[in-house]
Structure formats: structure tokens, C-alpha cells
């Protein structure tokens, strides 16, 4: 009987509920696995007792990324970790967008402001400021040029806490076409969804946001699949990925661009796509048996 840990985090006021977790644990048990949800920073967990540890909803990692990546490496040393620890380390820092761009993948234009850098912000268009280590739109906000001083305070707050800020043009197509999340599991397309805009004008960066507003099922276009597959192919080292989510938006030219590449703890939205659960279970059992 394979032993599978679905890795999550402790509940808290700033942590979203993982709606998929109870059902996935049950489905794995029904399929013959010994499955359980385990908290990544619980020092009493014996990760070596599992055949497979699958990072699912460690949604508090972004403010503790060094601690989290160190855990991933320790866990991977004693069991099979999905996704692999080197992928986790690369993908927890959104400067990976620069790596994708260098590989020719169309991404949203991004600049980075590390602590100590001079804070220069756009003065001709609306833009978004967020940390390179973030999840669920934490510490993210959109600004107009008239809100320059507020945006500078936002960046300096991140710098004071040791975070690098990223600055992107606000992609206006999100307001009409939304953002598409294309999900892969076991190396093939699983399903996709579309959500509305997360960042409303005037919303403070430290206010909690609804991370996936108006989420609905979506059938990805050929162009979206092409960009998503190119992004996955550009991951350094061509690692074997058990799961992946590619978040896409339309650029000014109407063509899809990568907003984020989620390889650590992407929400799979299985509650929206219950037909995908058997495929996920099959791939998890196969990975645990290796």
C-alpha cells in the first residue's frame, strides 16, 4: 500500500482554505493508498515514512521562502518530492520570468527592484507592484502615475522586510478577457479555468484579496496551449514535473503571455473539475510506486 503525504500548511486568517484537500485524500484512500494531509513545518512528521510527498497547499510559504526551500531539500533527501526541490527553489522567486523571457517565452514585461535599488516607477501608464515571493495577491496592488508616492511607500515597505519588488504594466485585457489558468498533470493537459481581475483600483497592498474571483471552467485555445507548453519546456534542467499551472493573460497584441508559472503549490481547482480527480489519483499512485 503506497503511503502518500499531501503537503499543506497550518490554517490561519491569511491562509485560504484548500477545498480540494479532503476530497483528494478520500479519493486516494478509496484507490488503495495510505494518504494523509501533513503540514510542511510540522517537526514531528517523518517524511521518510512516505513513498511520495506532494506539495499541495503550502500557501504560507511566500513569507518564509528560505525556510520552505530548505524544508523541500530535506524532504527530497528522504523521499520522492513532487515537484522536485530544485524546481521549488527556482519557482519560489518570480525572477524566473526573466529566465522564461530569455528563452523566448512571451511573458508580461517585468522589472525588478531589489532592496537598495533606486525606486523608479512608470509615469505614463497604470502598473502593478508585488513581491517576487508572493501568493494569492499578497502585498500586490495596482497604481496610476498619480499614485506614485503611495507606490513608493509600498516598495519601501517590501524592501524593509527584505523582499524584492517586481513592477509590471497593468494588463488591461484582464478586465475583459480575464486570466486563464491552464493545468497540467503527469505531463499532459488536465483542465483549465478563467478568472476575473484580482486587483481593483485603490485597494491597499496589505488588504486581503480574493485570489480567484469569478472562476469558471475554460477550454484553452491552441495559442494558449502553445505558450503554456513553451513555458514548461523552458524550465531549467528539463525536470520531470508531476503538476504545473500556467497563468496566461492577453498582451496588447491580443496574444497570450505568461503572467505566472506555478510549479510549487498551484491550486488545482478540482472542486470545479471533479472529472479530473481520477486522473490525478492515477498519476499520484504511479509516482508513489516508482
Q: Are 266 and 113 spatial neighbours (Cβ–Cβ below 8 Å)? A: no
Give the pLDDT score at 245: 98
Residue numbers of the chain with a pLDDT score lower than 50: none
Give the pLDDT score at 99: 96
Give the pLDDT score at 57: 96
Give the pLDDT score at 202: 75
Give the pLDDT score at 205: 80
What is the Cα–Cα distance from 241 to 226, expressed in whole angstroms? 17
Give the pLDDT score at 136: 57
Q: Are 169 and 127 spatial neighbours (Cβ–Cβ below 8 Å)? A: yes
Give the pLDDT score at 201: 81
Give the pLDDT score at 198: 81
Question: How, if at all, do strands 3-8 and 34-39 pair?
Answer: parallel
Say which residues have a Cβ less than 8 Å from residue 274's Cβ, sequence separation at least 6.
none
Give the pLDDT score at 208: 77
Q: Are 193 and 180 spatial neighbours (Cβ–Cβ below 8 Å)? A: yes
Give the pLDDT score at 137: 62
Amino acid at each position: 500500500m503506497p503511503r502518500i503525504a499531501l503537503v499543506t500548511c497550518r490554517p490561519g486568517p491569511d491562509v485560504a482554505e484548500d477545498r480540494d484537500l479532503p476530497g483528494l485524500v478520500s479519493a486516494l484512500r478509496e484507490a488503495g493508498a495510505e494518504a494523509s494531509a501533513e503540514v510542511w513545518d510540522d517537526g514531528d512528521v517523518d517524511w521518510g515514512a512516505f513513498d511520495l510527498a506532494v506539495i499541495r497547499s503550502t500557501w504560507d510559504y511566500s513569507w518564509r521562502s528560505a525556510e520552505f526551500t530548505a524544508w523541500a531539500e530535506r524532504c527530497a533527501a528522504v523521499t520522492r518530492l513532487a515537484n522536485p526541490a530544485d524546481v521549488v527553489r527556482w519557482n519560489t522567486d518570480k525572477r524566473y520570468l526573466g529566465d522564461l523571457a530569455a528563452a523566448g517565452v512571451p511573458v508580461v514585461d517585468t522589472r525588478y527592484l531589489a532592496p537598495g535599488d533606486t525606486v523608479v516607477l512608470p509615469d505614463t501608464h497604470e502598473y502593478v507592484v508585488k513581491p517576487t515571493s508572493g501568493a494569492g495577491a499578497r502585498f500586490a496592488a495596482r497604481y496610476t502615475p498619480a499614485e506614485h508616492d503611495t507606490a513608493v511607500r509600498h516598495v519601501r515597505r517590501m524592501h524593509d522586510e527584505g523582499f524584492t519588488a517586481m513592477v509590471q504594466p497593468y494588463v488591461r485585457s484582464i478586465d475583459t478577457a480575464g486570466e486563464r489558468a491552464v493545468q497540467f498533470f503527469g505531463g499532459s493537459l488536465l483542465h483549465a479555468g478563467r478568472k476575473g481581475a484580482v486587483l481593483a483600483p485603490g485597494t491597499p497592498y496589505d488588504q486581503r484579496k480574493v485570489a480567484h474571483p469569478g472562476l469558471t471552467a475554460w477550454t484553452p485555445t491552441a495559442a494558449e496551449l502553445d505558450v503554456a507548453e513553451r513555458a514548461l519546456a523552458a524550465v531549467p534542467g528539463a525536470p520531470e514535473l508531476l503538476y504545473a499551472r500556467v497563468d496566461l493573460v492577453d498582451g496588447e497584441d491580443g496574444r497570450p503571455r505568461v503572467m505566472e508559472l506555478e510549479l510549487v503549490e498551484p491550486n488545482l481547482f478540482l472542486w470545479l473539475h471533479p472529472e479530473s480527480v481520477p486522473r490525478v489519483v492515477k498519476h499520484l499512485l504511479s509516482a508513489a510506486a516508482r
